[in-house]
Chain A
Amino acid sequence: MAAKIIRFGLMAVIAGIFLLAGVMKIYDPQGFALAIMEYQLIPWWGIVVLAVYMPWLELLSALALFIPGWRRASLITLILLLVVFSLALVIVLLRGIDIRCGCFGIGFLDVSAPVALLRNLILLAGAGYLLKFDKFNR
């Protein structure tokens, strides 16, 4: 029972973070595009595509986490997103580019790249844990 409560709490935290991130970026896709541009990783056309696609992916995946039967697909998507975000942060840190995360769009709950990376790794561990104990979701 306690384990179930922990799992639900963890799920609510992960879903809450991605819901907030998705909503903030859907509200201001131009601001999110500027935040992605700071990473200097992809050309402008790719930034535009990501800026309008990724927030919806985050939002829908977070919502799907609460739908029994959809949880595994949702967790796989969220883990993929976290891996991509973390890789981008690692590349930026290795290249010595000084940026803010932009994880919630531009200028909202902004943290430095190392803090964002640490947060991502914690979320990744949480999502991995939920995926491992996914039996109750089927």
Chain B
Amino acid sequence: VGVAGFNTLHYLDAVLIRLATLLILPAVLAAGTLFWHPRAPSFAEKPVPKQTYQQVIDSGQAIFWIDARSQAAYDQGHIENAVLLNEDHWNRLFPGFLKRWNPDQMIVVYCSDSGCTRSQEVAARLRKELGGNLKISVLKGGYEGWLLR
């Protein structure tokens, strides 16, 4: 191997070491994210599955709709018979939900559109408060998707 060959090998080694650094360093930061980030996903808590409106209807089950948006958005329009329940006013709204909900019904939570996460947050909290065997899902596409159904 001549000088040029040695230089090439040396260069490739340097690239490989940097490549390995770029792949390993994020793993360390990822571990930190898991431990300290307030919005880190948890291995133990799998999100509630999503269903399209058609899948909800095709399930043939009695549905209990929960609107996880704000009071103002709910007042402007909501799915018929939907009950307002959100994280902002949980303590005030939760008793009203409990009064109306029948455990035989499947709960379907929705928020504004496919980009919102409020429905997942409400669904996760309901599952925590009412037990893991709860029949619950999140509406794919949210209220916007329901309007376009």
A38–B120 alpha-carbon span in the complex (Å): 13
Say yes or no: is B26 at the interface (Cβ < 8 Å to chain A): yes
A33-44 toward B: CB 8 Å interface, digit per residue (1/0)?
110011000001
A74–B118 alpha-carbon span in the complex (Å): 36
Size range of the chain A interface in the assembly: 35 or more
A110: nearest chain-B partner, CB-CB: B115
Q: Which residues of B contact A107 (CB under 8 A)?
A: 113-117
Say yes or no: is A56 at the interface (Cβ < 8 Å to chain B): yes
* Stretch in A8-16, A46-54, A85-93, A122-130 touching the partner: A46-54
Within 8 Å by CB of B33, from A38, A52, A70, lies: A52
Say yes or no: is B6 at the interface (Cβ < 8 Å to chain A): no
**Please, could you name 7 A-B residue pairs with CB atoms under 8 Å apart, sorted by A?**
A29-B33, A29-B39, A33-B41, A33-B47, A57-B22, A110-B114, A110-B115
Taking Cβ atoms with an 8 Å cutoff, the residues of A that contact B are 26-31, 33-34, 37-38, 44-45, 47-49, 51-54, 56-57, 59-61, 64, 69-70, 72-74, 76-77, 100, 106-108, 110, 138
Q: Least Cβ distance of A84 to chain B in Å? A: 13
Q: Which residues of B contact A70 (CB under 8 A)?
A: 18, 22
Query: Is B26 in contact with A44, judged by CB distance below 8 angstroms?
Result: no
Within 8 Å by CB of A30, from B19, B21, B30, B41, lies: B41
A49–B33 alpha-carbon span in the complex (Å): 10
Q: Which residues of A contact B50 (CB under 8 A)?
A: 38
A99: nearest chain-B partner, CB-CB: B114
* Residues of chain B from 7 to 54 with CB closer than 8 A to chain A in the complex: 11, 14-15, 18-19, 21-23, 25-27, 29-31, 33-34, 37, 39-43, 46-47, 50
Query: Is B47 in contact with A57, judged by CB distance below 8 angstroms?
Result: no
Taking Cβ atoms with an 8 Å cutoff, the residues of B that contact A are 11, 14-15, 18-19, 21-23, 25-27, 29-31, 33-34, 37, 39-43, 46-47, 50, 113-117, 120
Q: Which residues of A contact B41 (CB under 8 A)?
A: 29-30, 33, 47-48, 51-52
Within 8 Å by CB of B115, from A47, A49, A100, lies: A100
Number of A-B contacts (CB under 8 A): 89
Chain B: interface secondary structure? Answer: helix
Q: Which residues of B contact A33 (CB under 8 A)?
A: 41, 47
Query: Is A69 in contact with B14, judged by CB distance below 8 angstroms?
Result: yes
A107–B21 alpha-carbon span in the complex (Å): 31
A26: nearest chain-B partner, CB-CB: B33
Query: Is A29 in contact with B37, judged by CB distance below 8 angstroms?
Result: yes
Q: Which residues of A contact B22 (CB under 8 A)?
A: 57, 60-61, 64, 70, 73-74, 77
